[in-house]
Amino acid sequence: MKVKQHSDKVSRVWPLFTNIDVDYGEGVHIYDQSGREFIDCTSGIGVTNTGHCHPRVVKAVKEQTEKLLHGQTTILYNSMLDRLTNDLQKIIPEKLNCFFFSNSGSEAVEGAIKLARHATRKPNIICFQGGYHGRSIGALSLTTAKSVYRSGYQPLMSGVFVSPHPYFRQYREEDVEERTRHCLAELEYLLHTQTSPDETAAMIIEPILGEGGYVMPPESFINGIRDICNKNNILLIFDEIQTGFGRTGEYFAFTHFNIVPDILVIAKGIASGLPLSGIAANKEIMDKWIPGSHGGTYGPNPISMAAAIETINVLEDEELVNNAKEMGDFLLAELQALKKEYPIIVDVRGKGLMIGCEFVDDNGNPGTVIAEKVRQNCLTRGLILLTCGPYNQVIRWIPPLTIKKTELEKALTIFTLAIKDSLGR
């Protein structure tokens, strides 16, 4: 399949991974200009959790559009902001009882770094190998998922230290805890040798690695980090930009680890496609932020707020978090069965509807080529998927949380045929 490119008038910094000339989206489907239907198992990179153009979200957006397009947060009091924070508080623990909003995920990560520095009066941030936190210079400085994101932009922000992550696919099951202990020991050593607790404001981690390969670390790793932060008076930031709003079968992935971070970063699924992001923290921390020292023109835009308020209602009313869990369990089991049949699939893992399927080549090396072949063959047959991982060796499944079993079955049939095509069977 020949992949289309954007026109010469559009920057080539955006590669195009499909040849779909899009017309519209509805539910789990995307339709092209000729009316061809595709099952979208990307959700626009984990954004359209309520499906494309959910009628209730569209209605809320339409109504808001006729009332106010822009109302600057430092100029106007807008009660929508109270509705949004109250609705968010229903799904976010009371410990995180104060919110700040912006537009993109990267912007929210920038906000989290700046808040951590102001609140602690300490400069340094520790991030973890394989993490992805965005592309603006501050957020990129914390991003180590692939060199391509950093190449040509370095040197980046100073005061950032990278600690190892127990990405455990290459370890035998029984070695995982040992590997985890090693990573935690390295983290303590980093505090002892490079950035002392007195100088370390925060640690930032994705509770489940997204762009880095859909990797869920052992509970003991995340709990170990929480303990080290507590012991050393360091803030713990969870970047739940990709894992949030029901994606993993819980509203937020921190629930899987039975801990709460000090700062929670949210975006993507919050507003079903409208640009909105934010951070949540305890008021005591938030109040250390000096008024006027951070902000922006747009965040939070009223149309995005209307979309977010209705998105949270839809997630609740349609029990989509539960659906993510149920459909995720089904998808995981089906993909694990495929793994038994096709040795090129070396690992299937995930939580809820955030599932990675890792490929290897005949020599056991990262299966970059075969994963891309399978992805392309899926596309030809009407299924949109993305890859991730340091070598793009993982095919990730991130469908809308509205997806039904029949739709997943259809997608799985296409996926199986695409694997057969790719192996020339």
Stretch that binds ligand PLP, among 36-44, 203-211, 255-263, 306-314 (CB under 6 A): 203-211
206 touches ligand PLP (CB under 6 A): yes
Q: What is the CA radius of gyration of the chain?
A: 21
Q: Give 157 or 338: the residue with its C-beta nearer to ligand PLP.
A: 157
210 touches ligand PLP (CB under 6 A): yes
Stretch that binds ligand PLP, among 150-158, 236-244, 342-350, 376-384 (CB under 6 A): 236-244
Among 133, 351, 375, 396, binds ligand PLP (CB under 6 A): 133
Residue whose token pair is 């035998």 = 172
Can you tell me the distance from the alpha carbon of 313 to that of 82, in angstroms, rounded to the nearest whole number?
15
Q: How far is the CB of 129 from ligand PLP (least distance, A)?
A: 14
104 touches ligand PLP (CB under 6 A): yes
Among 203, 267, 320, 386, binds ligand PLP (CB under 6 A): 267
Q: How many CB atoms lie within 10 A of CB 129?
A: 17
**283 contacts: CB under 8 Å, gap ≥ 6:** 97, 98
Residue 301 falls in which region: left (phi positive, over 0), alpha (psi -120 to 50) or beta: beta
Stretch that binds ligand PLP, among 55-63, 144-152, 206-214, 220-228 (CB under 6 A): 206-214
Q: How far is the CB of 401 from ligand PLP (least distance, A)?
A: 16
Q: Give 276 or 419: the residue with its C-beta nearer to ligand PLP.
A: 276
Q: Give 210 or 302: the residue with its C-beta nearer to ligand PLP.
A: 210
Name the nearest CA neighbour of 264 among 289, 246, 287, 239. 239
What are the two backbone dihedrals, phi and then psi, of residue 251, each rounded to the nearest 5 degrees? -55, -40
Stretch that binds ligand PLP, among 82-90, 230-238, 239-247, 383-391 (CB under 6 A): 239-247
Q: Give 270 or 327: the residue with its C-beta nearer to ligand PLP.
A: 270
Local structure of 39: helix, strand or coil: strand
242 touches ligand PLP (CB under 6 A): yes
What is the amino acid identity at position 103? Answer: N
Which residue in the shown chain puts its C-beta closest to ligand PLP?
105
Among 99, 100, 101, 132, binds ligand PLP (CB under 6 A): 132
The stretches of 213-289 forming alpha helices (DSSP H) are 219-232, 283-286
256 touches ligand PLP (CB under 6 A): no
Can you tell me the distance from the alpha carbon of 415 to that of 385, in angstroms, rounded to the nearest whole number?
10
Residue whose token pair is 């079903």 = 272
Q: How far is the CB of 243 from ligand PLP (least distance, A)?
A: 7
64 touches ligand PLP (CB under 6 A): no
Q: How far is the CB of 234 from ligand PLP (least distance, A)?
A: 20
Q: How far is the CB of 339 from ligand PLP (least distance, A)?
A: 25
**In the beta sheet, which residues pair with residue 126?**
161, 203
239 touches ligand PLP (CB under 6 A): yes
Q: How far is the CB of 210 from ligand PLP (least distance, A)?
A: 4
273 touches ligand PLP (CB under 6 A): no
| Cis upstream peptide for 300 (omega within 30°) | yes
Can you tell me the distance from the alpha carbon of 140 to that of 132, in angstroms, rounded to the nearest whole number?
8
Q: How many CB atoms lie within 10 A of CB 194?
A: 13
Q: Give 210 or 352: the residue with its C-beta nearer to ligand PLP.
A: 210
- 55-60: long-range contacts, CB 8 A cutoff, minimum separation 24: 56/310, 56/313, 56/314, 57/272, 57/307, 57/310, 57/311, 57/314, 59/310, 60/306, 60/307, 60/309, 60/310
Tell me which residues in 361-420 interact with ligand PLP (CB under 6 A): none
Q: How far is CA 422 from the centre of its chain?
A: 28
Tell me which residues in 2-61 interact with ligand PLP (CB under 6 A): 45
Tell me which residues in 301-330 interact with ligand PLP (CB under 6 A): none
Binding site for ligand PLP (CB under 6 A): 45, 104-106, 109, 132-134, 206, 210-211, 239, 241-242, 267
